[in-house]
Structure 1
Amino acid sequence: RWGKDDPEVLCESLDAAYHEADRMSIMVNDMLDMIRVQGSFDLHKGEITDLKQSIDLVLGNFRILYPDFRFSLTSTIDDCIYAEIYKHHFEQAILILIDNGVKYSSGSRNIHVTLDVLGDDALVKVRDEGEGISQEDLNHIFERFYRTDKSRNRVSTQGGLGIGLAILKQIVDAYNLKVSVSSVVDEGTEFTLVIPRVMAK
């Protein structure tokens, strides 16, 4: 159905080819991201990061990129909270969670981030008010290339092929962190990162 002599069919074919090329480009870039992250863990062992400072930086970038969204950070702790994690890996984890909320917002454009302390751990929560995730999908969201049913038609417009949360899981496993997620369909999703603290930088 190439239809080089039929302008309408030709346009259709070129459009399909463009979207397929775009999809493949996204897939290759996502795979390269995974390889880069995996290869950098050993290079940055023992580095200490100010969690609040990094969250502020990521949120500042999102406020510039998405002026129609409202990004908030709430913390009951005035002091700095440090953890033994490479700054860019932590920021990438937060970026993935916030970006996930932005992509799957539906109507509401509020993204809430909280940073608190529980015992020896720091708790980072990222909550959106979007479409939510079904219980069935929750069991698979950290798998490579897995996309929820509602998002399968968004590859070319929203980016990503289910790699973001798989990269997050790589980071979580590399630093012995914990991640959990709760979600209500049509109400929103909340991810929680549990990160062991260190007392001083």
Structure 2
Amino acid sequence: MTRGDMPASDRQRLRPLNVRQRLFATTLGLLVLGAGALASVVLWSFAHFFLASAEADLAARTHAIAETAAELLEHRDEARLRILVERYGAQEGIALRVLAPDGRLLATSQHDPREHTIDWTTIPGVAGALAGHEQSGTAKGTLGYDDRIYDTVPIARDGALLGVVRMSRSLAQLQAHTRETVFTVLVALTVILAVGSGFIAWFARGLGRPIQQMRDFAVALGRGELGTRLAIARPDELGELAAELNRMAERLGALEQERRSFLANASHELRTPVSNLRVTLQALDDGAGDDPELRARFLRTAVDETTRLGSLIQDLLDLGHLEAGAARLDRHDVPLRPVLERATRAIEGRALDRRVSLVLDLDEDLAVNIDPERIAQALLCVLDNALKFSPSGGLIEVVARRRGNYAEIAVRDQGPGIADVDRPHVFEQFYTADRSRRRGGTGLGLAIARRIVDAHGGTITVADEQSPGATLVLRLPLAAALTV
């Protein structure tokens, strides 16, 4: 059975954890691991410290009693020895015994008759002490009672062994303290985990909510809802990301609006020559071709509209390639003059027909790093635009000068100029805000020129001049040999 065939409840259970849930689980796991490790270290340190302290205290007591017992044994005062043992062994959990050098029990604080039947040399620590070595450790009680710590010290005077003192202490108190400490630590750990879980849940929700909103925002953008915006104001990276996503949505909205405008304008521009062709051909089909003069005029119209349609399609293809980055540039260092002369020669015939003069003025040593074919195309678009708006008998000047690491090319005409309101839009496709600037052509020339120049790392702008006419300025990177 595939996932799609599963019941909804099963699919719900199989859904992966979202970011907030994963963040909560991971952080809580780290908290549990860290708190557990800390609690284990605390408990181990406590038990080790308490046991070491108990052993040190037991050893100190045993040595003190051994000093006193040595004097009593030296004077063979067993009665006072028994009083000494009963006094210091009376504390609960303490067992104190004094043994003779032969292992015989001389005094005990326990008063259990069974003690006199025990072979004390087999009791842990006794044999070593009878051999003259202090012994300590942990063992079962002498009579099989609870676990105990013990310390056994030999009693000697002038190199002679007088006996052995063995003191032991029950571990029940230590174990009780350990249990209390474990309980206290577990309660504290539970409180820490409860408070920590609440804080982690709040923290995960605070991070997860904006991420979820960004995901929903991205899904909405994918559906084409470009008017939505994120209402996330945070002084951190998530806030910066939200602001950047909003700016991206604004740019996408602008691009979408430009795309729709482009499609509408392209459809209109294509429809006009097609409609003219259809009307012309229909007229010829209806008999207009019987008149030779009328037929010739209609055929010229058909040829003109076909040429216009071909130019528009070619411009659209060029613009599409440039915007998609599919147009490859063959850049190398070349002199600028041949490129400018090639572009001016291309419109020279039309300029003569309209009695428009062309003037070329440039520094002789100018060389640029460009693709000559593409830059010639861009210059031709700019010159063609200048020729359209130049009056009969007017002048088009092309002036090229060096400006820093760039070659600056100014193309100036004597036409009606460009209104201030239209300046930001002259390089847009099919821009028609100022109808006086549309005198034939496809309306794509300057858009193509801008994209070619942009691809070279240069700029193309409208000069801010008050004189009659319009001036477009191209800035192209100089050849490597001329850069500073």
Q: Same fold (TM over 0.5)?
A: yes
1:74 is aligned to 2:361: yes
CA contact (8 A) 1:48 1:85 kept: yes
- Could you say which residue in structure 1 is the equivalent of 2:435? 149
- Could you say which residue in structure 2 is the equivalent of 1:111? 396
1:56 is aligned to 2:338: no
2:314 partner SS: helix
Q: CA deviation at 1:107?
A: 4.1
CA contact (8 A) 1:132 1:184 kept: no
Q: How does 1:143-182 map to 2 (within 5 A)?
A: 143-147=428-432, 148-152=434-438, 154=439, 158-160=440-442, 162-182=443-463
Of Structure 1 and Structure 2, which has the larger fraction of its residues in helix?
2
CA contact (8 A) 1:84 1:197 kept: yes
Q: How does 1:84-95 map to 2 (within 5 A)?
A: 84-95=369-380
Structure 1 residues 91 and 22: CA distance shift in structure 2, 3 A? closer
Q: How does 1:116-155 map to 2 (within 5 A)?
A: 116-147=401-432, 148-152=434-438, 154=439
- 2: CA distance between counterparts of 1:195 and 1:119? 11
Structure 2's unaligned 5+ residue stretches are 1-281, 289-293
Among 183, 196, 199, the residue aligned to 2:477? 196
CA contact (8 A) 1:108 1:130 kept: no
Q: How many residues align?
A: 187
Structure 1 residues 107 and 21: CA distance shift in structure 2, 3 A? closer
**What's the TM-score, normalizing by structure 2?**
0.34
Structure 1 residues 184 and 149: CA distance shift in structure 2, 3 A? farther
- 1:57-80 per-position Cα deviation (integer Å, ceiling 9, x unaligned): 2222322332122100112x232x
Structure 1 residues 199 and 131: CA distance shift in structure 2, 3 A? same
- 2: CA distance between counterparts of 1:24 and 1:64? 22
CA contact (8 A) 2:356 2:391 kept: no
Q: CA deviation at 1:171?
A: 0.8
Structure 1's unaligned 5+ residue stretches are none
Greater relative contact order structure (CA < 8 Å, 6+ sep):
1
Structure 1 residues 86 and 43: CA distance shift in structure 2, 3 A? closer
- Could you say which residue in structure 2 is the equivalent of 1:99? 384
Of Structure 1 and Structure 2, which has the larger fraction of its residues in strand?
1
Deviating 4+ runs (over 3 angstroms): 2-5, 17-27, 35-41, 183-186
**What's the TM-score, normalizing by structure 1?**
0.76
Structure 1 residues 20 and 59: CA distance shift in structure 2, 3 A? closer
Higher deviation after alignment, 112-121 or 176-185: 176-185
Higher deviation after alignment, 176-185 or 115-124: 176-185
Structure 1 residues 159 and 110: CA distance shift in structure 2, 3 A? same
Q: CA deviation at 1:96?
A: 1.0
